[in-house]
Amino acid sequence: MAVLVGKKAPRFEAQAVVNGNEFVEKFSLDQYLGKKHVIFFFYPKDFTFVCPTELHAFQDNIEKFEKRNVAVVACSTDTEQSHWGWLQMSKEEGGIKGVKYPIVADTNKTISKNYDVLTGDFFYDENDQLQADNELVAYRGLFLIDKDGIVRHQVVNDLPLGRSVEETLRMVDALQFTEEHGEACPADWNADKDGLKATHEGIADYLSSH
């Protein structure tokens, strides 16, 4: 698994569905450079069971991300038509109707591969036929990207393990706090706590007060 933290987020242009029903060609995260932080997350497949809980959870908290000037973008290896169809289904039917943030179609799987969240391996057999050792979908990868396009945080879950939106918001707060104040964020830090000055005196003061 590649560690992308501290590196430029891999660039891409791909089809996407935005606002729940609009097709966009050549969607790119470049539009947010210099303007917004980005939460870019992958999920395995449309029309599944854990995935809609995550997509709805991010939508339910979208105002919290917008308040922090953070764009939320999802991605899976399904087609844009599949995304659109799922977006037309209600939550009661197992759909994701109401989700408004962009959903990218990584149909050729290059985005998932470049972010190193693609399950399985593909290879050519002795007959020069392309094969895969299992279904090629994306793990539940999540990347926090700053305004300069640098990955500052990543987490990758196995397929059955859903993520915490609250933890994602905590990491956004931590990054924005360090950017604004130049202080580090110690264990279990949240926005109600002080930061940590990265000096021997700062560490001693923090430990003595907690």
Same domain as 148, residue 129:
yes
What is the C-alpha separation between 4 and 27, in angstroms, rounded? 21
Cβ(179)–Cβ(202) below 8 Å: no
Q: Tokens 């959870």, residue? A: 57
Bridge partners, residue 70, by sequence: 37
Is the Cβ–Cβ distance between 1 and 116 less than 8 Å? Answer: yes
Which residues are known catalytic residues?
51
Q: Which domain holds residue 192?
A: 164-210
> What predicted TM-score, i.e. pTM, was given to this entire model?
0.89
What total number of domains does the chain contain?
A: 2
| The amino acid at 3 | V
In a domain, 4, yes or no: no
Q: Among 140, 163, 186, give the residue marking a domain's end.
A: 163
Q: Specify the amino acid at residue 4.
A: L
Q: Give yes or no: residues 116 and 69 share one domain.
A: yes
170 membership: H or E segment, kind and range? helix 165-181
Cα dihedral across residues 64, 66, 71, 74: positive or negative: positive
Q: Is residue 189 part of a domain?
A: yes
What number of other Cβ atoms are within 10 A of residue 174's Cβ?
Answer: 20
Per-residue pLDDT of the chain (210 residues; tens, 9 = 90+): 689 999 999 999 999 999 999 999 999 999 999 999 999 999 999 999 888 999 999 999 999 999 999 999 999 999 999 999 999 999 999 999 999 999 999 999 999 999 999 998 777 778 877 677 778 899 999 999 999 999 999 999 999 999 999 999 999 999 999 998 887 877 888 877 666 665 434 443 444 455
Count CA atoms closer than 13 A to 159's CA, side-chain side: 13
69 lies in the same domain as 158? yes
Work out the number of other CB atoms within 10 angstroms of the CB of residue 186. 15
CA–CA separation, 60 and 6 (whole Å): 29
Dihedral Cα 89, 73, 119, 44, nearest 10 deg: -10
